[in-house]
Amino acid sequence: MKINYLMPTRIITGENCLYAERQFLSGLGKKALIVTGNNSAKISGAYDDAVKTLEANGQRHVLFDKVMANPTDACVYEAGLMARREGCDFILGCGGGSPMDAAKAVAVLALIDLSKEELFSAAFDRALPLAMIPTTSGTGSETTPYSILTDSTGSVDKTPMKRSVSSPLLFPRLAFLDAKYTIRLNRNTTINTAIDALSHAVEGMLCLRANHLSNMLAKEAITMIMDCMKDLLAFPAENPAAFPPEKREKLLLASSIAGMVIAQTGTAVPHSMGYLPTINWGTDHGRANGLFFKSFLSWCREKEQDSADKRIPALCSALGTEPEQFFDILELLLGPHEKATETELQAWSKLPMKNAANTYIKPEQKDIERIFRESLG
Amino acid sequence: MKINYLMPTRIITGENCLYAERQFLSGLGKKALIVTGNNSAKISGAYDDAVKTLEANGQRHVLFDKVMANPTDACVYEAGLMARREGCDFILGCGGGSPMDAAKAVAVLALIDLSKEELFSAAFDRALPLAMIPTTSGTGSETTPYSILTDSTGSVDKTPMKRSVSSPLLFPRLAFLDAKYTIRLNRNTTINTAIDALSHAVEGMLCLRANHLSNMLAKEAITMIMDCMKDLLAFPAENPAAFPPEKREKLLLASSIAGMVIAQTGTAVPHSMGYLPTINWGTDHGRANGLFFKSFLSWCREKEQDSADKRIPALCSALGTEPEQFFDILELLLGPHEKATETELQAWSKLPMKNAANTYIKPEQKDIERIFRESLG
């Protein structure tokens, strides 16, 4: 049994936990750069709470609120410069996965001059302390050592490509989980982020590096998310605030637990595949992963017939359903799939899939093509 | 749902993991003080592996091997002075709970002059980095922020008393879990340490501070230990090495997971009660806790009839048995209980029980007396 487990983030949860437990924040520094998008942190109330809390702690702050969805390298370099110019000594990431992932890179760039390649190869030895306030329940970025960025000229043909920075230095010191910031999330965002969290836990169980501790966490996250499925399917689209608050709370904690999973295991091939609809069509990250699950899991089930390494039974036990029933629920949540053109299908199937080698059964190019075709054909 | 979760220790497991993953140790410092008892670390092979690994890393070391069972304040002050005199910049705790608990206090005393009261009230702001190599599967000290010491003049009447130092600074940086160090443990030690780990997980579920994450960990640890019960009951006393190695591995990881539980929750009243047979009679720590479980859990079950806070059902679900069946197994493991004199029963029942207030139903003095009498009368 080989394990190498690390998740050093302090997780603080509960209504108004940021203000109530503000003494933990006060140890982080004297001046924060608050890294957010231009919208959700403010609408959710998280930004106001952050400001109130920092002021109560006697900590100064400046705001960088230009993080876009799928943040670019240019964005984090700009924020890093701002942190440096303003003399910030800690970073507060506030929002969904994009602001939190950006905040992590900013924590490094605030301290060190790095080329883009140095950043992506984690050629750094320090980072400012980070605190995170997630306002969605999907990314799990608050408990991972990863920053996923869009490298604007990363591909062979100089088109944009998702790339990740991975370093234990990027684990946040603090994660404040307050589900009140998620109560206004609409049907699409609630469902897509839930699928994202679910995909982390499910893929975590199907990664080569899965181990006893990561599987324990994955099963817990999966059980929690599946326990919210009935409510997700019946989401009150006209009144998101009517979605049960205790399920919001459960989804938020489950997404952090799923983050703890991928912090150990990384993700499997659906995440690599999902980046393509996201980058090319703007498909939400969680949805983009979900689109491949039925085909990917069916393929796993077929392939593991001939393998000693059987994982689908344990996954089904965590899901509490047989695969077919799970697919039915998932497809109801997703609705009709986006369709790729034949050109896209052929081009995407030939691209290198970084996480293929991390998947417990390594898919070949023909397998990737099959999963693309079944999912988006 | 209020949670405040922290467990920053990197857990590395597997045969020969210390040497194989020695690069993690090399980040800790240039010269280690190895803190052990005079025996088990050497017999188990852990000490030799530590020396070999430090040498391969080019790290120097000195040895402090005078930690006794239930280490005293005098012992940790002596080792702290040695670390300082020798210029050690990190501490390697190697052995069972006693050396590891001692190592934590030494990590502080090596850096700061502290009175005994300052030490026990955690009036310190730094500690040397710590790495732990457990050689038993009970204490979980490798994943907790606690150092349990015997204060030689701690009681009101100046007799010895168990006291704890608690600080996030005492979380080890690294825990290396290699079950090969436990294969020679005899029946008594194997069973008593398994009961210790089980008591951490069970009490963790019955502490006021139990939460979703600590309960997830507790259930996992309980399930893993219960899965070893058949083998523990059939322990091959004449040949400890015949105990199944995969169960040794399971018990070792379970004890670390149970440590992660009490790192969040603390322990409940059986731990406070157990210190009395340990200090007065030398009863093994794990056994001392186990002696009270049947009576304590029966009392909990009675009391929670009138409470909204019902925890015994979830505990039974984790145990996979009804309480009576669990008691039968436990009593088979423990064998006949030690007997206290009437004078002891009366005196002990009147002592303050530190963890009573941490227990989900706070026992009164008459309840404590009942549990003492039922367990040791």
**B13·A7 Cβ contact <8 A:** no
* Per-residue pLDDT, B214: 98
* Cα first-last separation, chain B: 41
Hey, of A220, A223, A255, A264, which one would you mutate to test binding to chain B, going by the most B CBs within 10 A of its CB? A220
A26: amino acid identity, one letter:
S
CA distance A82 to A67: 13
Cross-strand pairs, B90: B32
Task: Give the SS3 label for residue A241.
Answer: helix
Q: How many pairs of residues across A and B have Cβ atoms under 8 Å apart?
A: 65
Task: Give the SS3 label for residue A8.
Answer: coil
* Per-residue pLDDT, B251: 98
**Residue A8 CB neighbours (<10 A):** 18
Positive or negative, the Cα torsion across A187, A189, A192, A196? negative
Q: Residue B240 is encoded by which pair of tokens?
A: 């400890």
E strands in chain B: 3-5, 10-13, 31-35, 60-64, 90-95, 130-134, 146-151, 161-166, 174-177
CA distance B377 to B339: 6
* Alpha-carbon distance B214 to nearest alpha carbon in chain A (angstroms): 12
Taking only the tens place, the pLDDT of each residue in A96-136 is 999 999 999 999 999 999 999 999 999 999 999 999 999 99
| CA trace torsion B94, B100, B105, B110 (10° rounding) | 10
CA distance B18 to B59: 14
Task: Determine which helix (DSSP H) or strand (DSSP E) holds A22, and give its type and residue range.
Answer: helix A22-26
* Per-residue pLDDT, A368: 97
- CA distances to A311, B28, B174 from B130, rounded to whole Å, are 36, 8, 7
* Per-residue pLDDT, B126: 98
Q: pLDDT band at residue A335, thresholds of 50, 70 and 90?
A: very high
Whether residue A3 lies within 8 A of chain B, CB to CB, comes out as: yes
Is a pLDDT exceeding 90 seen at residue A287? yes
Residues of B in contact with A8 (CB under 8 A): 6-8
Give the mean pLDDT per block of 10 residues along chain B (377 residues).
96 98 97 93 94 98 96 97 98 97 98 96 98 97 97 80 94 98 96 98 98 98 98 96 97 98 98 94 96 98 96 97 96 97 96 93 97 97
Reported ipTM = 0.96
* Per-residue pLDDT, B352: 87
Is a pLDDT exceeding 90 seen at residue A40? no
* Alpha-carbon distance B117 to nearest alpha carbon in chain A (angstroms): 24
DSSP letter string over B66-78? Answer: -PPSS-BHHHHHH
Task: Give the SS3 label for residue B333.
Answer: helix
Is a pLDDT exceeding 90 seen at residue A156? no
Q: For residue B220, give the nearest of A10, A21, A216 by CB distance.
A: A216
CA distance B207 to B227: 24
* Alpha-carbon distance A213 to nearest alpha carbon in chain B (angstroms): 9
* Per-residue pLDDT, B105: 98
Whether residue B221 lies within 8 A of chain A, CB to CB, comes out as: no
Scanning the structure block, which residue is given the tokens 């990881």?
B253
Angle CA(A28)–CA(A264)–CA(A309) in degrees, nearest 5? 175
Q: Residue B239 is encoded by which pair of tokens?
A: 């040949």
Scanning the structure block, which residue is given the tokens 């030490």?
B119
Hey, of A1, A22, A25, A126, which one would you mutate to test binding to chain B, going by the most B CBs within 10 A of its CB? A1
**A10·B5 Cβ contact <8 A:** yes
Positive or negative, the Cα torsion across B245, B250, B256, B258? negative
A149: amino acid identity, one letter:
L
Task: Give the SS3 label for residue A374.
Answer: helix
Q: pLDDT band at residue A295, thresholds of 50, 70 and 90?
A: very high
Hey, of A4, A9, A209, A224, which one would you mutate to test binding to chain B, going by the most B CBs within 10 A of its CB? A4
To the question of pTM greater than 0.90 for the whole model, the response is yes
Q: Answer for the pair A136, A182: CB distance below 8 angstroms, yes or no.
A: yes
- CA distances to A21, A315, B277, B291, B311 from B366, rounded to whole Å, are 37, 48, 19, 18, 22
* Per-residue pLDDT, B14: 98
CA distance A55 to B219: 41
Q: Residue B178 is encoded by which pair of tokens?
A: 């290699």
Residues of B in contact with A213 (CB under 8 A): 11, 257
